[in-house]
Amino acid sequence: MLDSARRHGVAPLVYRELRIAPDGLVPADALAAFHQYNIENTRRCLLLTGWLRRVVDRLQRAGVQAVPYKGPVLAALAYGALGARQAGDLDLLIDPGNLAAARDALEADGFRPQVPLKGWQERQLVRSAHPYGLVRDGAGVVLELHWSVSPRSLSSGLGTALPRERLEEVTVAGTRFLTLPVDVLLVVLCVHGAKHVWERLGWIVDVAELIAGHPTLDWASVLARAEELGHRRELLLGSLLTRDLLKTGLPEPLTAGISADPKLPALARAVSTQLGLVTHGPPGIARTARFHLEIRGSWRDRLAYVRYALMPTVADWTSVRLPRWLAPLHYPLRAARLLRGGGAHHH
């Protein structure tokens, strides 16, 4: 049970429910395992918060503004308690022009790239808006630098419209950070979930907690903002999933928006199917591509999706290493991998 809860990113929440179950209903060994994991998760969340402060300060000294937007910051904003959300990686938004400065500053502080990239590969990574991963081995901290909150194939301009001018302050375990405003963060979470066909229940819970925790938001404005960013359907799908799977009550504007989009029920069924697969794993590339194309509303967006989905990624560069002068061959090689279902997922 614990393994399944961890895989879906909901172990702390499951433990919260198990703890208040009637005596004898939950086997003692299962409860003990969840209790131990909960202690470890809270420690890990505190550790990550400390590293996040260190990294943000280090980048600030290097002249790079870094905006954390998931991890400990999301735990504080959506759950109100650091240990209530399962610890994961650290995600930071930076300006794409600052990648080299950020990488150099972090390497000087003991981080190393998960995959060392050449200059032309870094430039392509920025163009396709896939994140740049670094790791601090001794601490087991994985850090992803983003300049967009989704790959270019799905971004519809979201990556270039982030509201740096109206960042909001949040306090996490006594430490203050600047992060995205809640209306934008909600869209960001729904775009991320859609990117991965919502394969983890924890991502749906994040959306539910964020909606429930901010009832005074102007929801008509939130929808307008999602529309402006090109992600109204993703926001409505994430909201629908919280209602269908978690029985979350939704504000009226979201309910009305859901009713007005006839494509949403089929997309929600596709997510439920994926979540219910017995041999759980990431959805296959064909299923993912179909899902992405259904979410993309216009033909223009669909063509953009195909164009950017064919751009080689870190997984392509590492699976077949080619010299720079042969790099264009990565395009047909990636197309072949996608056609035979071997395209890699990128979190």
pLDDT digits (tens, 9 = 90+) for 159-173: 554 556 689 999 998
What was the pLDDT predicted at 294?
87
Whole-angstrom distance, CA of residue 170 vs CA of residue 70: 12
Per-residue DSSP letters for 137-163? TTTTEEEEEESSSS-HHHHTTGGG---
What was the pLDDT predicted at 297?
72
pLDDT digits (tens, 9 = 90+) for 275-306: 876 455 666 677 788 888 888 877 677 777 77
Q: How high is the mean pLDDT of the chain?
A: 84
Q: What residues of the chain score a pLDDT lower than 70? A: 156-165, 277-284, 299, 307-312, 314, 316-347
What was the pLDDT predicted at 316?
67
What was the pLDDT predicted at 329?
63
Whole-angstrom distance, CA of residue 251 vs CA of residue 181: 18
What was the pLDDT predicted at 74?
94
Whether the Cβ atoms of residue 296 and residue 283 lie closer than 8 Å to each other: no
